[in-house]
Amino acid sequence: ENADPQKTAFVLRKAWTLYSVTPLYRFRRSRLSEYARLLSAFIAAEKQKGLAVEVGVELDIKVALSSLADLRGSELDQAALLVQLSSRSRASSKNSEDKLVWSGWFCSMFGDDLSENVPENFTCLPLFLTHGAESYTSLVGSWFQKTFDCCFRRLAISPLNLSWMVAMWAGYKLERAASAVELVFSVPRLSQPLDISYAIHPEDAKALWDTVQKTPGEITQGEVDVFMDCLCAHFHRHFKIHLSAAKLVKVSTGIASAHCDGIVKILHSQHLPGVLMLLTELAISQIQ
Amino acid sequence: HLATSLPLPSERDHLRPRIDMVVFMIDIKSKYSLKNVETSLAHVDANFFLGKVCFLVTGVGRVNACSIETNAVCKLAEAYCSPVLFCELELEGIRAATAQRLLRMLQICAGHIPGVSALSFVSLMRSSNVD
C-alpha cells in the first residue's frame, strides 16, 4: 500500500476518462513486450487504412506496456497495467525525444467482489483510465477487445455517487490551505441550460462533515444525505432555490474532482488508494 | 386531478369530487421530489393507506442520473403499507402500460370491480414481504 510516489506521480493532476472493463481472457503478464509489438502493428495498420489520427504529420506511434506493482489494493488484486503511446516525428533527428501522446491504465483496487467469482484464465482489472485523444482510446480499446475478449463501457457517475464522493473527500484532513469544495448543479427543463456553482470554504465543509459523521472511518448513506441536505438548506435560505431538484453534475475538492460523465482528477497522492477503491467499486457494479 | 403537493387548497373543497386513490410521483432524478412526497404524506387521512395509496417512481430508465436510492423509496412504501410502481415515462410503451395499471387499480379503489376491494392490495403486499 505504500506506493512509491515517483511511480504514481503520473496519475496526479490529469483529467482521466473512466471506463469499466470486463475480465481479460488469457492475459499473460510475461508477454507484455509481445503485446506492445502487436498493438503497435495494429495501430500502424489502422492508420494505413485511413483512420489517421493526425493529418499532415507523419508520426510513428511507439507502444509501451508496463506493470505497476504498487498500484493495487491487496495481494488479491492484479497489479495495474499501464499503456503508453508515444510519437516520434519521422522528420526529426534520431536523438529527439519521444513525446507521450496518450496514456491509459487498467487497475483494480480492492476489487475482490469481482475477482473471487471469476474462473481461471481471466484477469480482473475492472477500472480503465485514459488521458489523451479519443481516437487513440478507441484504437487501444478495439485491440484489447479483440485480443482478450473483453468489453469496455464508459463509466458514468450518478448524482448519488457524486454526493458520496464530495462528502467523503470534504472530510479528509488537509495539511495546507486547500481549494474550495465546489458542487456544480445543472438545472433541468429550461430553454437555456443553467449551471449553478456552489463553492464552500474547505474548513467549513470539513467542520460540517465532522458534526455529521458518527464513526471515524465509516460512512453511511444517511450521513451523506444529512451533509447534502445541510448544504442545500443553506443555499435555499439565501437564494430560495431547491438544489435538490437540480442535477448534481460535478464535485470538486482539494483531494480530487469528479464529473458525472465519468471524468476524474486526483490531486493528492495520499488519498489515491481511497479514490481508486471507490472508482473500482463503481466499475464493478457497472459490469455486474 | 394533479397537484404539486399536499394539502390541496381548501377553497375548492366543496367542488372536489370524492378521491378514490392517491398516487405519489417520485422522480428518481430529483431528491426534492422525494422530500416533497414525504411532507405531503402527512396530510393524507390514515384511511387512504388501506390500499388507496400508491407510489410511482419515474425516470428509472436513466440509472446514471439517480439522485435517490431506490432502497429509500421501498422503505418509505413499506412504512406506509403501499405498493411501489417503477416506470420510465419517456418510453411510450411503458408509459401506456403503467397508465393501464393505474387505471385498473383506480377501478378497484372506486369499487367498480365487484368482489375486489382496495384492501386486497394490502394483503398482496404482505405476502410478497414474507417471501
Provide the number of structural domains found in chain B.
1
Q: Is residue B114 part of a domain?
A: yes
pTM, rounded to two decimals: 0.86
The phi and psi torsions of B92 (rounded to 5 degrees) equal -55, -45
Residues of the domain holding B98: 18-128
ipTM above 0.85, yes or no: no
The DSSP string of A116-152 is: TTS-TTEE---EEEEEE-HHHHHHHHHHHHHHH---E
Largest pairwise CA distance in chain A: 65
Nearest chain B residue (CA) to A160 = B67
User: What residues contact residue B100 under an 8 Å CB cut-off, 6+ apart?
Assistant: none
Q: A247–B35: do the CB atoms touch at under 8 Å?
A: no
Q: Could you say which of B33, B63, B72 has the minimum Cβ distance to residue A158?
A: B63
Q: Is residue B2 part of a domain?
A: no
Which CATH number belongs to the domain containing residue B76 in this structure?
A: 3.40.50.300
Q: Is residue B3 part of a domain?
A: no
Q: Is residue B1 part of a domain?
A: no
Query: Does any CB of chain B come closer than 8 Å to the CB of residue A245?
Result: yes
The phi and psi torsions of A82 (rounded to 5 degrees) equal -105, 130
Spatial CA neighbour of B30 closest among B74, B71, B60, B75: B60
What are the pLDDT digits (tens) for B69-116?
989 999 999 999 899 999 999 899 999 999 999 999 999 999 898 888
What are the pLDDT digits (tens) for B22-58?
999 999 999 999 999 999 999 999 888 888 999 999 9
Q: Which residues of B touch A260 (CB under 8 A)?
A: 64
User: What residues contact residue A23 under an 8 Å CB cut-off, 6+ apart?
Assistant: A114, A118, A122, A123, A124, A125, A126, A150
Q: Is residue B10 part of a domain?
A: no
Q: Is residue B8 part of a domain?
A: no
